Structure 1
């Protein structure tokens, strides 16, 4: 049995699931999701239930002790290396030691690289089919996207702007980055693109993002329906993502071999944080 710690926003949860699922498939065993963190007060909610995932949420007896509510038991579990055995992410880039992990481990980390699950890509794509039906409005936009030369463009603001520590860690992509990304993709297209923008601050996008093409701001899905935005993103032909795991998945879930994906050259504002394996092969890095 493989267990994986699930926390953070939807994009992070998807990376954590994908790594655990890949390891469980390698060993022909079950995957358990440790979602204990969502039992308390968290910034984000658990979102993987909107997908066709092949895992179940673990019961307390199957999971390591909760660090916040059972600090003494947690300490004994860590020190005595009790089952499930802890397997921590070592740095942010791909860790080749992951491939040597056996059954009966508890994964704790972000695992933000396609390399962790590339060998089972088909299974991950199947697992991340969204099973929650789209609302009528989103279904109409999906039909529209099927006929439109659409580019998804994601601008992450929120805590990246409002929280000084988060801003120092991640930073935000410049308007120049988005403008040059649109120009690059448009130059490779045979039709004039339509830009579908996704953001946690759509009003700011309307006021600040000026592009030489038609722009449609997607502002109808709130944070509880972020999976709807993810589905819409993945239905676009091409993508300009932020330094955000959410839009990373929006681009990755597009199965087209002809898609163009523009990604920030620097994933973190903090130069001490480096993940050279965040970019899948073929994605274009732009500073």
Structure 2
């Protein structure tokens, strides 16, 4: 059995699931999740139930750590006996040792690179098919996206702006990044794009983002239906993502070979963590 500890926002949960699911497929064993962290986690809710995949929780008696355990306690716990061998993420870049881990492993980390699961990309994309039919409003968006030369554009603000600690670590992409990214797609395709803009602060976007092409602000979804935005992003032909795991997945789920994804050169505000493996090499950095 392979078990993945899930915590964080939906994008982070998807990375954690994907790394564990791929490892279980590699070993030919059962995959389970540990979602106990959400008993005490106030920032985000467990969001994976929106997908078609059947989520099986690991038996509590096999799990090695209590949900309120902190990072230091988790590090010490690596040296304690447990039914599952805990493998904690030691650094942000890709760790090839993960691919060779054996059965009865408990994954504790974020695992933010496709290198942990790209050998099972088709399975992961199928797992992350949204379970629910789109609402009437989102059905209209999907029809429009299919008819246009659509580009998803995501602006992440929220705690990246309101929280000093998050702002220090992450920062936000400046408006010039979106201008450069859009110019690249326009030149590469030779077609005037139609932008579908997603953000947790669309009022700010409306007041500040001025681009020379048609912009549609997608306002029909909220945090409880964020999977609808994810589905709409993936439906677009090309993608301009923020330094956000959410829009990373919106772009990655679009498996078309001719799709262009533009990502920011700098993912974090500082020089750490080292995000060299987070953005796939086939994507464009601006």
**TM-score interval for Structure 1 and Structure 2 normalised by the shorter chain:** over 0.9
- What do the CA deviations read for 1:107-150 (whole angstroms, capped 9, x no partner)? 00000000000111111111111111111110111111111111
Pairs within 5 Å for 1:1-287: 1-68=1-68, 78-286=78-286
Does structure 1 retain, via aligned residues, the 8 Å contact 2:40–2:67? no
Would the aligned equivalents of 2:198 and 2:229 in 1 still touch at CA under 8 Å? yes
Between the two proteins, the alignment pairs up a number of residues equal to 285
Cα distance, 1:41–1:89 mapped onto 2, change above 3 Å: closer
> Relative to 1, partners in 2 of residues 1:54 and 1:23: Cα closer, same or farther, differing over 3 Å?
farther
Using structure 1 for the length normalisation, give the TM-score: 0.95
CA shift in 2, pair 1:53/1:187, >3 Å: same
Q: Deviation of residue 63 (structure 1)?
A: 1.9
Contact 1:33 1:56 in 2 (8 A): yes
- CA separation of 1:65/1:272 partners in 2, compared to 1, >3 Å: closer, same or farther? closer
Indicate the SS of the match to 1:129: coil
SS at match of 2:189: coil
In 2, the alpha carbon distance for the partners of 1:259 and 1:69 equals: 41
Alpha-carbon separation, structure 2, partners of 1:76 and 1:273: 22
- Secondary structure (helix, strand or coil) at the match of 1:206 reads helix
Q: Deviations over 1:140-197 (max 9, x none)?
A: 1111111111110000000000101110100110100001111110122243211111
SS of 2:140's partner is helix
Structure 2, unaligned runs of 5 or more: none
Please report how far the alpha carbon of residue 258 of structure 1 lies from its aligned counterpart in structure 2 after TM superposition: 0.6
- Contact kept, 8 Å, 2:37 with 2:67, in 1: the verdict is no
Give the RMSD, CA atoms, in angstroms: 1.9
**Is residue 149–residue 192 contact of structure 1 (8 Å, CA) maintained in 2?**
yes
Whole-Å Cα distance in 2 between the matches of residues 229 and 61 of structure 1? 37
Q: Is the 8 A contact 2:37 2:68 kept in 1?
A: no
Counterpart Cα distance in 1 of 2:76 and 2:109: 20
